[in-house]
Structure 1
Amino acid sequence: MIPNLDSQIGITVYSTNFSGIGGKIRAKPEDFHVSEIISDKVNKSITDQEGYAVYKLKKKKIDTNHALSGIFRKKGIRLKSLGLKDASAITEQFVCSGNKGKAIEDFSTDKYSLEKIGYVKKPLSKKDMIANHFKIKISDCSNDLSSFTEYDKVLNFYGYQRFGSKRPVTHLIGKAILQRDFKKAVDLILSFTSSYDSKENTEIREKLSDKANFEKYFDQVPSQMDVEKIVLKEMIEHDDYFAAIRAIPLSLRRFYIQAYQSFIFNQSLSMAFLDGENLFEAQPGDVCFDFNGIIGKYVKGLDQRLALPFVGYSYYKKTRFDHQISKILSNEEITPKDFFLKEMQEVSNEGGFRQAALHCFDYSSQGNTVEFSLSRGMFATILLREIMKPEDPMTAGF
């Protein structure tokens, strides 16, 4: 049985035959470890010669952005991360200074520590991080973990975080923006409710479903609803839905569009799998990634991984998945052209390709603990979903 939450984000299949061990993840932060893996080339380029300082940031109970702004407040130094790590885990990641010069001393707080590991000639970028390594304890599960062997047969879905986790709404906002229905986008941001949200949040959202209440309840909106406050302020001052969406930070507006693309991708992968397409081996005519992450056509004998289109305004039709993708776009009443917004060009997205299957390596398990590495941009929760087959992903700690 596929959980309702999975269906809401476009995941309607399991790709493994394993019956699942149930259980719960993240019972405490110590149960979920994640550390970044950088390329050998970059590793070798870190030396004691002066340049841009590279540090290892270790943290728990705080996300990357909040840790970096804490470092800036305390030490006056701006550091860039290669990836974002959430708060409900113990994480290790590389961060790099944007300016040459002397490194700061190692230091730590109760939530994070910063340790200098050397210098590089040019600042590290996202592409230098090639994978993440996970070590995860699954509580209250059956003792069947050792019999899961299908880690190379897991589809590369976008995980729950991409869609707002407890409140799966980001893709719906993205779709409303693409359909130029800015009123609907505002309504979704302010008043979309979910059974997983707190009673207080749900009550305030129900009040915000009526425009007449905007001013009346503005001061009661909790501080964590920062996007909602931006939108409300704009609506109270100018009563203009388009301007209210435009007031949201650009990175987040782009994220809404990408979340909708991710939803279409999840649906495409689910439908292709149900239609019996082989998604674990590339065939002549397929678009693939090579082991360096370079995209190209299938070449027999090369180590390549099958890719599926990630729909945008430059959607590439000539793949064996166009049948499924065209059907989904038709059901969604969206066309590739819609991803170019004349009114808000800065959020337009041309699309691209994403690997069809998870690239999972260094997999092992012992007792109720599992360890594995995943290539950059792949979600550990998607592998865990196949191992645990949870009835309710949110109460299972996803």
Structure 2
Amino acid sequence: MSSPPAKRIKVDVEQEACSTTGEHKQENTTLPWGEHCVGITEFVNASIPGFTGIIKHRYTDFLVNEIDEEGQVVHLTDFSLPKSTPLEPPKEEVPLLSLEESVSNLTDLLGNAETPLEIQKLFESKEEEPQHVFIEAIDDKEKRTKIHQFFKNAFDRKLVTEASDGRIKVRYVAEGVDRRDRKFQRKRNDWNVAEGDFCRFVLHKENKDTMEAVNMLSKVMKMSSKIFSYAGTKDKRGVTAQWVTAYHVKPERLLGLNKRLRGMQLGNFGYCKNKLDLGDLKGNRFSIVLRDVTVDSQEIIDQAVTTIKDKGFINYFGMQRFGSSGAPTHTIGKAMLLGQWEQAVDLILMPREGESGDIAEARKAWAEHHDPKKALEVFPRKCVAETHILSAFAKSGQQRDFLGAIKMIPRNLRMMYVHAYQSYVWNHMVSQRIQLYGSDRPVVGDLVLANESELRELEEADVSEDGDEESGHVAVKVLTEDDLPQYTIYDVVLPLPGFDVVYPENEIGGKYNQLMSQDGLDPRDMRRNVKEFSLPGSYRKFMAKPENVSWQTLKYTDADASLAQTDLDRLAGIQEPAGVPDGDHLALRVAFSLSSSQYATMALREILKTETTGSFHLALSQKANQPQI
């Protein structure tokens, strides 16, 4: 039996209008911006009534703890320093010789008094004449070695030796050590840890995204952000914990930063041999509080959460993938795929509906004057794409090389736009799949992976360091009638459009053509003249099923009361809030684990049956007279 038709949710929040694509276009062309604009329309079980609850009223209502490759949930639990084994045992310090001892011992070593006196004069001259002294050629290699070694602890280490045309040249160096020597020694000896070249630590952050946190660390430490690496980026509005690796950074130094950092703490220090790469994780553990819940009965809540526990939810790409209504990321990506570089630049730079503050003023300044240098002065640094485009215009002195300006945007960010278009298509196709065939079982023509371990989601990690989109062909099987008993709906995948994927051999295959042709694109022709925008495509599971699902309701009175326990709370001995039995408000506390490419907001959407856009929940907060904090 197929799933019932999707329940349409009426959005009562005033938002910008958007044009929908495909079959929905005939239904309504001026619907407010929301999930339907990016293909998010269906539910696994639409028969369960929806209810309202505010997502992320406080950023502490959204806790995210990384699950590492060993399946361990990452928590900040201590600030102790690790023990290490030195690669080489420390050498005993040899005491410096006095000037008198230096001259006397050198005289004995050379077997003459004249050269040591010249060297003494060099030492006392401090780079005045003579600038160097030669020790004449010595045939005995062992003796030459002894002479070089001698100067390392003589003459206050301000004289250095080097071979020169068979002789030994003695020079004066003001700081006591050859600068070239010092640079070499620093590279060799500063890191002396047998356990590996990397310090691994837990980054616990509040209300800032991972890149912002890492940039803050590198700025405080006056080091390049490239020394830090991590398995995945965590969103800004929440409290998150994840592993980070740092190349040749001592844990003592990182620990010392905790007193200076705001909204961040570092701990659980250790050493490892390899750095983290994007994708080196199993997923994330979410602990989420939904506030000001309005529902007819506890039974509805229990049924809704039980649905995602037992059946899962539709594995849509969440709204954060698509940005804001003013210039959704997928529309910028579509322009790039069409080679409409000027339009892509305009979508990134020009004014947007609904924006205010510094960014709105900066866009207005650009639209009025088209002066990249002046615009750069007012655009906030956090507007990465905008500032890189404007910098390209300012440096080149002309504003017509739109592709060149786009290429100045950091690669992961510019590829995010075209990936967003793929995600937009995928969302629409999964909704079409449910409308045609339901969400409870595979059908003939569906796709499953030939080898489950080969699944590669469309993530930033799919972009190789040499700048090419990785193809990594994944084999899939097209289901026949005989295959159906061997597979479940959780095996079914749908392709993200590209030149190296197979499309379903049922009605959904044709739906890709119908949707993308309206945008002037062909799902089977995704190669481009600009190589980096040639998309091989990949596959994504149709359904997502969370693990270790738990939930409870609690009442509270203070609208801004803390209702979650962070790692820092736990370290401080603060117990998890228990609520107030006779409180005026109801909250739902839900926890679950997801794979790395799955969106918690889409699980919440299946529970609530309401929009998950930030503007929708901001409006709910305002309606309840609870400004977001």
TM-score range relative to shorter protein = 0.7 to 0.9
Aligned to 2:287: 135
| Counterpart Cα distance in 2 of 1:158 and 1:327 | 21
In the alignment, structure 1 residue 63 sits paired with structure 2 residue 209 = yes
Residues 102 and 280 (structure 1), Cα distance of their counterparts in 2 relative to 1, 3 Å cut: farther
Give the superposition deviation at 1:322.
Answer: 0.9
Superposed counterparts of 1:68-83, under 5 Å: 68-75=214-221, 76=223, 78-83=227-232
Q: Which residue of 2 aligns with 1:229?
A: 387
Change (3 A) 1:280 1:82: farther
User: Which residue, 223, 234, 238 being the options, matches 1:85?
Assistant: 234
- 1:273 Cα deviation after fit: 1.3
Q: What secondary structure sits across from 2:495 in the alignment?
A: strand
Contact 1:272–1:324 (CA under 8 A) maintained in structure 2: no
Question: Secondary structure, in 3 states, of the residue corresponding to 1:264?
Answer: helix
1:112 to 264, 267, 284: 264
Percent identity between matched residues is: 27
Q: Give the Cα–Cα distance (whole angstroms) in 2 for the partners of residues 213 and 161 of structure 1.
A: 30
Which position in structure 2 is the counterpart of 1:189?
Answer: 348
**1:11 and 2:40 equivalent?**
yes
CA gap of 1:124–1:186, structure 2 versus 1, over 3 A, is: closer
- Is residue 263 of structure 1 aligned with residue 263 of structure 2? no
Matched residue type, 1:23: G
Preserved CA contact (<8 Å) 2:445 2:504 = no
Letter in 2 for 1:64: T
Partner of residue 515, structure 2:
328
Question: Who wins on radius of gyration, i.e. which is larger?
Answer: 2
Aligned to 1:53: 199
Secondary structure of 1:157's counterpart equals coil
Rate the CA distance shift 1:307–1:172 in 2: closer, same or farther, 3 A.
same
Residue 9 of structure 1 and its aligned partner are, at CA, apart by 1.8
In 2, the alpha carbon distance for the partners of 1:37 and 1:27 equals 25
Q: How far apart, in 1, do the equivalents of 2:605 and 2:327 lie?
A: 17
2:601–2:612: 8 Å Cα contact kept in structure 1?
no
Is 2:401 the counterpart of 1:371? no
CA distance in 2 between partners of 1:289 and 1:397 (Å): 41
Residue 34 of structure 1: which of 45, 49, 64 is its match? 64
* Structure 2 residue 274 is the aligned partner of structure 1 residue 122: yes
Does the CA contact (< 8 Å) of 2:513 and 2:523 recur in 1? no
* Contact kept? 1:178, 1:257, Cα under 8 Å: yes
Distance 1:382 1:289 in 2: 27
Partners in 1 of 2:450 and 2:616 — Cα distance? 33
Structure 1 CA distance for aligned equivalents of residues 511 and 440 of structure 2: 13
CA 335–192 in structure 1, closer or farther in 2 if over 3 Å, else same: farther
1:131: how far off?
Answer: 1.2
Moved more, 156-165 or 221-230: 221-230
Q: Distance in 1 between matches of 2:419 and 2:444?
A: 28
Task: Evaluate the alpha carbon distance shift between residue 331 and residue 265 of structure 1 in structure 2; reply closer, same or farther with a 3 A threshold.
Answer: same
- d(CA) in 2 for partners of 1:175 and 1:162? 14
* CA deviation after TM superposition for structure 1 residue 267, in Å: 1.0
Give secondary structure in 1 for the equivalent of 2:518.
Answer: helix
1:277 is displaced (CA, Å) by 4.6
Q: Alignment length, in residue pairs?
A: 392
- Structure 2 CA distance for partners of 1:50 and 1:235, relative to 1, 3 Å: closer
TM-score (norm 1): 0.86
Paired residues of 2:526 and 2:534 also in contact (CA < 8 A): yes
Deviations 1:23-52 (A, max 9, x none): 211111211100011132899xx9977123
2:327–2:347: 8 Å Cα contact kept in structure 1? no
Letter of the structure 1 residue corresponding to residue 593 of structure 2: S
**Offset of residue 257 of structure 1:** 0.8
Distance (whole Å) between structure 2 residues aligned to residue 158 and residue 373 of structure 1: 17
Q: Supply the AA of the counterpart residue of 2:43.
A: Y
Question: How far apart are residue 161 of structure 1 and its match?
Answer: 1.2
- Aligned-pair distance for 1:61? 1.9
CA distance in 2, matches of 1:290, 1:282: 19
> Hey, what's the Cα distance between the residues in 2 that align with 1:220 and 1:127?
36
Alignment match of 1:272 (pick from 433, 455, 463): 433
Given the superposition, is the C-alpha separation of residues 378 and 392 from structure 1 closer, same or farther in structure 2, using an over 3 Å criterion? closer
CA contact (8 A) 1:282 1:288 kept: no
C-alpha separation in 2, matches of 1:179 and 1:79:
36
Shift in alpha-carbon separation, 1:384–1:22, aligned structure 2, 3 A: same
Deviation, 1:224, is 3.5
Query: Of the candidates 606, 613, 617, which is equivalent to residue 393 of structure 1?
Result: 613
Aligned match of 2:537: 351
Q: Look up the SS of the partner of 1:271 in the other structure.
A: helix
Distance 1:153 1:206 in 2: 45
- Write the distance in 1 (CA, Å) between the matches of 2:365 and 2:273: 54
Structure 1, 384-393 or 201-210: larger mean CA deviation: 201-210
Partner of 1:270, secondary structure, is: helix
Distance 1:390 1:192 in 2: 29
Q: Counterparts of 2:608 and 2:346 in 1: how far apart (Å)?
A: 35
**Which of these residues, 324, 329, 334, is aligned with residue 175 of structure 1?**
334
Q: Which amino acid aligns with 2:307?
A: E
Residue 198 in structure 1 maps to residue 356 in structure 2: yes
CA distance in 2, matches of 1:47, 1:167: 52
> 3-state DSSP class of the match of 1:128?
coil
Alpha-carbon offset, residue 71 of structure 1: 2.4
TM-score, scaled to structure 2: 0.56
Contact 2:366 2:372 in 1 (8 A): no
Q: C-alpha deviations, 1:129-166, integer Å up to 9, x for none? A: 11111000001112543331211341111111111146
Aligned partner of 1:155 in structure 2 is 314
Question: Structure 1 stretch 289-298 or stretch 30-39: which is displaced more?
Answer: 289-298
Q: Is the CA contact (8 Å cut-off) linking 2:551 and 2:590 kept in structure 1? A: yes
Q: 1:65 to 1:360 in 2, by over 3 A?
A: same
1:281 shift after superposition? 4.4
Work out which structure has the larger RCO, using CA pairs closer than 8 Å and 6 or more positions apart in sequence. 1
Distance 2:548 2:339 in 1: 45
- Give unmatched runs, 5+ long, in structure 2: 1-7, 12-32, 74-81, 85-193, 456-473, 554-587, 619-629
